[in-house]
């Protein structure tokens, strides 16, 4: 895979501050998803970027809930059925309608759109179903993303094992012609995921080699799928702007053979050009 193809534009769609809008940003009530494509995606595509990750495109919950992941309870506001929940209010029509119509022409033109979706593992509304029914209900829950031919990144999916409906759902996506990504990197007891592509924050990735973690997290040498490292956190104060932050840190990750998921809109706003990252 070329360096250019390993640059991925990141949009934290549900990283906004307004809970009444399910924290959705970048998409506006006035322009909807087509406006997002025209004003946000296309200028970056013009710089040669052919891959994007949209984080939680249909919003997140104001109140987190507990879900059992592996052997521990974790609080999450990232619901897998976010689209269904958002549709309950007509006030959300501006971001629950028109997604596939706007995004499908982009994916058909050869641009990969990775939709990062909420936590399916441990979700009680799916756990209560038979494994077969859970898989099909999961497919229906992300219908607009499927219709748009998006790739699907599955939040906190590494805890699922073969025979569990989340693992089987990922395989069903693959068999249906959709690419899936797991999150974050697998644990040492998850060899069934070692060949899968992963989405992991850059901070989490650098923690893999910290003392003690080798007993929990699979060694990088074991992982054969693509590693997408995301610069998802707020810009550290040590860097004056996004241009310097990315220019000083991304080339090393690319040299290590990894892909980099970046807030390219902010990078370009600060004077950066994608070509600078490929030096």
DSSP 116-155: EE-B-TT-HHHHTS-HHHHHHHHHHHTHHHHHTT-EEEET
Q: How confident is the model at residue 214 (pLDDT cuts 50, 70, 90)?
A: low
Instruction: Express each pLDDT in 152-175 by its tens digit.
Output: 999 999 999 999 999 999 999 999
Dist. CA 170–CA 110, nearest whole Å: 22
Q: What pLDDT sits at residue 217? A: 86
Average pLDDT score over the chain: 94
Task: Evaluate if residue 40 carries a pLDDT over 80.
Answer: yes
Q: How many residues does the chain have?
A: 279
Q: Quote the domain boundaries for residue 210.
A: 4-277
- Give the count of domains, the chain: 1
Residue 230 belongs to domain with CATH number? 3.20.20
What is the reported pTM?
Answer: 0.96
Instruction: Express each pLDDT in 102-155 by its tens digit.
Output: 999 999 999 999 999 999 999 999 999 999 999 999 999 999 999 999 999 999
Instruction: Express each pLDDT in 14-33 by its tens digit.
Output: 999 999 999 999 999 999 99
Q: Which of 152, 191, 129 is nearest to 54 (CA)?
A: 152
Q: What pLDDT sits at residue 279? A: 79
Please enumerate in sequence order all residues whose Cβ is within 8 A of that of 110, keeping only pairs 6 or more positions apart, or say none. Answer: 50
Please enumerate in sequence order all residues whose Cβ is within 8 A of that of 262, keeping only pairs 6 or more positions apart, or say none. Answer: 7, 8, 9, 10, 230, 231, 246, 250, 277
- What would the 3-class secondary structure string for 202-262 be? HHHHHHCCCCCHHHCECCHHHCCCCEEEECCCCCCCCCCCHHHHHHHHHHHHHHCCCEEEE
Query: Could you identify the residue written with the tokens 């179903």?
Result: 129
Task: Evaluate if residue 210 carries a pLDDT over 80.
Answer: no
Pairing outcome for strands 65-69 and 72-76: antiparallel
Q: What pLDDT sits at residue 248? A: 95
Instruction: Express each pLDDT in 46-61 by its tens digit.
Output: 999 999 999 999 999 9
Q: What pLDDT sits at residue 125? A: 94
Q: Which of 95, 98, 91 is nearest to 83 (CA)?
A: 95
Q: What pLDDT sits at residue 93? A: 97
């Amino acid at each position: 895979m070329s360096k250019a193809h390993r640059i991925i534009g990141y949009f934290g769609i549900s990283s906004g501050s307004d809970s009444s809008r399910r924290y959705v940003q970048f998409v506006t009530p006035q322009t909807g998803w087509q406006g997002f494509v025209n004003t946000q995606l296309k200028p970056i595509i013009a710089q040669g970027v052919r891959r994007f990750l949209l984080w939680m495109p249909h919003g997140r919950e104001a109140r987190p809930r507990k879900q059992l992941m592996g052997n521990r309870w974790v609080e999450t506001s990232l619901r897998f059925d976010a689209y269904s929940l958002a549709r309950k209010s007509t006030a959300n029509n501006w971001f629950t309608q028109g997604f596939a119509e706007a995004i499908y022409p982009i994916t058909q033109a050869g641009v990969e759109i990775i939709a990062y979706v909420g936590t399916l593992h441990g979700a009680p509304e799916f756990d209560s179903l038979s494994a077969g029914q859970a898989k099909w209900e999961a497919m229906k829950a992300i219908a607009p993303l499927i219709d748009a031919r998006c790739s699907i990144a599955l939040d906190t999916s590494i805890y699922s094992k073969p025979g569990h409906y989340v693992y089987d759902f990922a395989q069903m996506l693959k068999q249906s012609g959709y690419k899936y990504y797991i999150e974050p990197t697998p644990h040492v007891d998850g060899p069934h995921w070692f060949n899968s592509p992963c989405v992991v924050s850059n901070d989490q990735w650098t923690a893999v080699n910290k003392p003690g973690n080798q007993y929990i997290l699979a060694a990088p040498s074991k992982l054969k799928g693509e590693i997408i490292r995301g610069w998802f956190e707020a810009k550290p104060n040590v860097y004056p702007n996004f241009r310097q932050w990315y220019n000083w840190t991304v080339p090393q990750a690319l040299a290590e053979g990894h892909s980099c998921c970046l807030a390219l809109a902010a990078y370009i706003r600060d004077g950066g050009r994608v070509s600078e990252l490929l030096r």
